[in-house]
Structure 1
Amino acid sequence: MCQLSNVCKRSSYQVIINDFGKPNEVLEGVYVEVPNKLSSNQILLKVLMSPINPSDINMIEGTYHIKPSLPAVAGNEGVGEILEVGGAVQDHQVGERVIYSVADRSQCQLGAGTWRQFSIVNETNIIKVPSNISLIGAATLAVNPCTAYRMLKDFVKLKTDDVIIQNGSNSAVGQYIIQLCKYWGIKTINIIRGRQEDEKEQLVGHLQNLGADIILTEEDRKKGALKDILKSLPEKPKLALNCVGGDSSAHLVNSLRQKGVIVTYGGMSKRPVMIPTGAAIFKQITAHGYWNTEWMKDYKNSPERMEMITELCDYLDKGIIKTPKAELFYIKDFKTAVSESLKEFKTSKKVLVMDETLKC
């Protein structure tokens, strides 16, 4: 292995955000030379895989809540292998597989900068993960499954046979919600957007295989199907999970039982969350927002964070939860990958691989 402490040249291909705007107009692929010396608490990673998340696209467009200082390396999640450690590093070793820690991103560094082949990070910026979970499982661990897990754990005390309702159910987070609920014995009502009949049948079958109890489209809901479903239940949902907003969020609120809770973690419709006045006053509905980055920051030094990561890794290893379907793209094909990720109906998560052999 070539040691950075020696005079050794190593170049890294990476995707740079030069300005905020349309992704394929402002992104650029460049080679940079990796510094040939680590400081005492730094670690050299060979980045293996990094997904393209909606938040990555929003950050590139400049519409995300926070913006990195430009130019910046794109990407906020990923998995890598440790190639070398600084002299003072004690908790990590060469050869370990690690993921980037969401908690250690700051306003000016914001992207973790995962769309690159090699990365130098501080030891506090990574979390060790077991090598027995898949690379895709590790690369997509820090955001979507953690979001699903926390929303089901933190806002309402759920017990076996309780019911939750969600929109955007075919999203990556939505699929993890279905699987976690199935394992924990919680029933799910799952709303999806309408689509061509053959695509709808395929998607419904996939969500049912994951453990979804009830599935309906937004169009079905508008025709009264949700009201009929709610009438058939012993009790209405205790928790609603919203990533759409607008009219869809209002119907989630109206479906809740007395003192129910709605948690918003996205806004795909780009319309405000709607809380009907009657539900707010007479049903005493409570509304919360969830942002995974903030939770990871707040609980950076809490055992609760590592307990969650360990539990989710165990679920992945045992097949209790499965990663969403993924389509792999070599990093130099990032423009194609980004274009595919921007399509309205996506059937798979787009993932960048930094070594072309990993596509096999």
Structure 2
Amino acid sequence: MMSKKLCASILKSVKIIRRQHAKFILSRSMSSLSSQEIKYKEHGDPNSVLYLENCQVSKTLKPTEVLVKMLMAPINPSDINMVEGTYHMLPQLPAVCGNEGVGEVLDVGSEVSGLGPGDWVIPAGTGFGTWRNVAVSDQEMVRKVPNDVPAISAATIMVNPCTAYRMLKDFVCLHEGDSVIQNGANSAVGQAVIQIAREWGFKTINVVRNRPDIDQLTDYLKSLGATHVVTEEFARSHQMKELVKSMGSPPKLAFNTVGGDSATNMIKQLNSKGVMVTYGGMSKKPVTISTGALIFKRVRLTGYWNAKWVQENKENPELVRMFDDLFDLVRECKLLPPVSETFSLSDFKVAVKSSLEGYKGSKKVFVMDESL
């Protein structure tokens, strides 16, 4: 796992050592670049329908196009859902897999402004196709990001930290000292919630599934800034009520990515007029709430979908402010990237199979640049 000391060391290296591009960019006389792409031409089991294709990408660009060398790209649940055909935004088939990642601009078209060789970019929305070496895209499909941060932070900034940021900011007016409760707290979103909440002065109660290494996980989440870490079993006990009471006032906000009994147990701990935001459904069980919680506590249930928020706020200055805030935290080593296990594109079958087994302490990330 990346410590703050290691993060600071990497940031220092990034600022001092400029990456060398010449070894990748082939002779100017060559008209194309070799690339590998992980694709699918029908929906289904990712273990069956994904395939690796070798291709040539033309270096000849239209006026508004950019040529991008992908550096890193994670495997997220939304990527898997797209392949399965269950996601609510689906690209036209055949498609290159991957919605999130970071790439380096190699060249730009004659009418492109604000981007140049050496800049880093991330997709501006879903369906970009990040699981490949090289991509040609219209400039409107990418967003420039700082290249003075670790590549893993840039590659994983768009989905999980943005989800945590928006959920903490958009649903309840929280003040310093207020508390938030969440399940799935060891997930990438959960870890981002813990770190951002700590910086904004909020306390967190973090619910996780019991496991053999629960003490190690507890210590890790507390090192990120978690106020309390409890198991699902503890969350159902009378001791949970005592813990919440000891915090002064019940949580005003809950984040649910599990569903079922786990969500119901969190609702019980919410303050009057509290809000529970659902952003995932790992258990595939519905969220249920008692009539009393709705009538007498006036608890409100809602949902958050980051891809939709980004799509609807492309011109909103708040989008720029969000990325500025998050990258500032990254530079200050106050927002660490998730613990990751890296794979080459050629090992995609192993990476995808591992990701389908669920989040087990590390995010699966494709690395396309061996120098990183």
TM class, shorter-chain normalised?
A: over 0.9
Give how far 1:31 is off.
0.8
1:28 corresponding residue in structure 2: 51
Contact in 1 for aligned 2:244/2:269 (Cα 8 Å): yes
In the alignment, the residues of structure 1 paired with residue 349 and residue 112 of structure 2 have an alpha-carbon distance, to the nearest angstrom, of 36
- Post-superposition Cα deviations, 1:186-208, rounded to whole Å, max 9, x if no partner, equal 00000001112xx1111111101
Measure the CA separation in 1 of the matches of 2:369 and 2:335. 26
Residue 259 of structure 2: aligned partner: 245
Runs ≥4 residues deviating over 3 A: 1-7
CA separation in 1, counterparts of 2:58 and 2:240?
Answer: 58
- 1:157-215 Cα deviation digits (max 9, x unpaired): 1111001100000000000000011111100000001112xx11111111010011111
User: CA–CA distance in 1 between the matches of 2:229 and 2:296?
Assistant: 28
Q: Are 2:97 and 1:83 aligned?
A: no
Distance 1:6 1:273 in 2: 59
Cα distance, 1:344 vs. partner? 3.5
Displacement of 1:91 = 1.3
1:182: which partner in 2? 198
Contact 1:4 / 1:37 at 8 angstroms: preserved in 2?
A: no
In 1: Cα distance, 2:55 partner to 2:29 partner: 18
Corresponding residue for 1:156?
172
- Does residue 347 in structure 1 map to residue 361 in structure 2? yes
- Structure 1 counterpart of 2:71, from 22, 42, 48: 48
Structure 2 counterparts to residues 247-266 of structure 1, below 5 A: 247-266=261-280
- Cα distance between partner residues in 2 of 1:304 and 1:281: 34
Q: CA deviation at 1:4?
A: 10
> Contact conserved, 1:9 with 1:34, CA < 8 A, in 2?
yes
Looking at structure 1, the residues matched to 359 and 313 of structure 2 have their Cα atoms a distance apart, in angstroms, of 34
- The residue aligned with 1:123 is 139
Task: Give the secondary-structure state (helix, strand or coil) at the position aligned to 2:36.
Answer: strand
1:285 partner amino acid: V
Alignment length, in residue pairs? 349
Query: Which shows bigger deviation, 29-38 or 159-168?
Result: 29-38
Say whether the 8 Å CA contact 2:187–2:359 is kept in structure 1: no
In the TM superposition, residue 47 of structure 1 has moved relative to its aligned partner by 0.4
Normalising by structure 2, we get a TM-score of: 0.90
Deviates more, 1:50-59 or 1:340-349: 340-349
Is the counterpart of residue 332 in structure 1 residue 353 in structure 2?
A: no
2:207 corresponds to which of 191, 196, 199: 191
TM-score in terms of structure 1 length: 0.93
Question: Which of residues 31, 42, 49 in structure 2 aligns to 1:8?
Answer: 31
Structure 1 residue 21, shift from structure 2 partner: 1.8
Q: Distance in 1 between matches of 2:308 and 2:358?
A: 28
- Cα distance in 1, alignment partners of residues 57 and 29 from structure 2: 13
**8 Å contact 2:108–2:115 — kept in the other structure?**
yes
Residue 114 of structure 1 is matched in structure 2 by 130
**Residue deviations 1:87-126 (CA, integer Å, cap 9, x gap):** 0001111110111112xx4xxxxx2100000001111111
Structure 2: 5+ residue stretches without partners = 1-21
1:108 aligns to what? none
User: Per-residue deviation at 1:66?
Assistant: 2.7
Give the alignment partner of residue 311 of structure 1, picking from 325, 349, 352.
Answer: 325
1:11 alignment partner AA: S
How far off is 1:19 after superposition? 2.0
**What residue number does 1:167 align with?**
183
* AA in 2 matched with 1:181: A
Percent of counterpart pairs with the same letter? 48
- Residue 117 of structure 2 is aligned with which of 94, 100, 104? 94
Relative to structure 2, which stretch is displaced further, 38-47 or 59-68? Answer: 59-68
Q: List runs of 5+ in structure 1 lacking aligned partners.
A: 106-110
Query: Do residues 215 (structure 1) and 238 (structure 2) align?
Result: no
Residue 72 of structure 1 is matched in structure 2 by 95
**Are the equivalent residues in 2 in contact too, given 1:240–1:252 (CA < 8 A)?**
yes
**1:58 & 1:225 partners in 2: Cα distance?**
38
- Partners of 1:254 and 1:336 in 2: CA distance: 41
Determine helix, strand or coil for the equivalent of 1:189: strand
Distance 1:7 1:134 in 2: 31
Alpha carbons 1:5, 1:36 under 8 Å: kept: no
* 1:133 alignment partner in structure 2: 149
1:18–1:28 Cα contact (<8 Å) kept: no
Residue 215 of structure 1: SS of its match in structure 2? strand
Deviations 1:213-260 (A, max 9, x none): 111111222333322212323111000111111111111111111111
| Alignment partners' CA distance in 2, 1:302 and 1:175 | 26
8 A Cα contact 2:31 2:60, kept in partner: no
After alignment, is 6-15 or 252-261 more displaced?
6-15
Counterpart residue identity of residue 86, structure 1:
G
- Give the Cα–Cα distance (whole angstroms) in 2 for the partners of residues 40 and 5 of structure 1: 18
Instruction: Return the letter of the residue paired with 2:320.
Output: M
Residue matched to 2:244 = 230
CA deviations over 1:58-112 (Å, ceiling 9, x no partner): 111222223222211000001000001000001111110111112xx4xxxxx21
